[in-house]
Amino acid sequence: MAKMSIKKGDTVKILSGKDRGKQGTVLHAYPAEGKIKVEGVAVVKKAVRPNQQNQTGGIVSQEAKIDASNAQLVCPKCGAATRVGHKQGEIDGHKTSIRVCKKCGAEF
Ligand SMILES: [Zn+2]
């Protein structure tokens, strides 16, 4: 499987499905599954029983996981939904893979 380049907190654009064209913030990333949850995307309603967090229970809306391949990263610099490249670099003294926008060359 290709390395997932989307991380929690990223903004992504949805490429397919009923939420196609929407942009949202990544709430969770699941690299092992190649899936993500995106705010306001693939929202499903779920019935919940009353519990300690939710005294009354009822229907809650919750984002479902979607394939990361159905979303494209939105560059924080130029705002384009873009493919990203990777390069090795260092952040705060740790060797890490830095993502590079293929449109504007921004590193993030
Ligand atoms: Zn860019």
User: How is residue 61 annotated by DSSP?
Assistant: E
Task: Give 96 Cα–ligand 1 centroid separation in angstroms.
Answer: 20
Please compute the mean of the pLDDT values over residues 40-52 and round it to a whole number: 91
pLDDT in tens, 69-101: 999 999 999 999 988 888 888 888 888 888 999
CA–CA separation, 63 vs 84, rounded Å?
25
- What pLDDT score was predicted for residue 1? 47
The environment of the single-atom ion ligand 1, i.e. residues with CB closer than 5 A, is 75, 77-78, 101, 103-104, 106
Confirm if 74 and 80 have CB atoms less than 8 A apart.
Answer: yes
pLDDT in tens, 23-39: 999 999 999 999 999 99
Residues constituting the chain: 108
Task: Give 69 Cα–ligand 1 centroid separation in angstroms.
Answer: 19
pLDDT band at 2 (very low <50, low <70, confident <90, very high): low
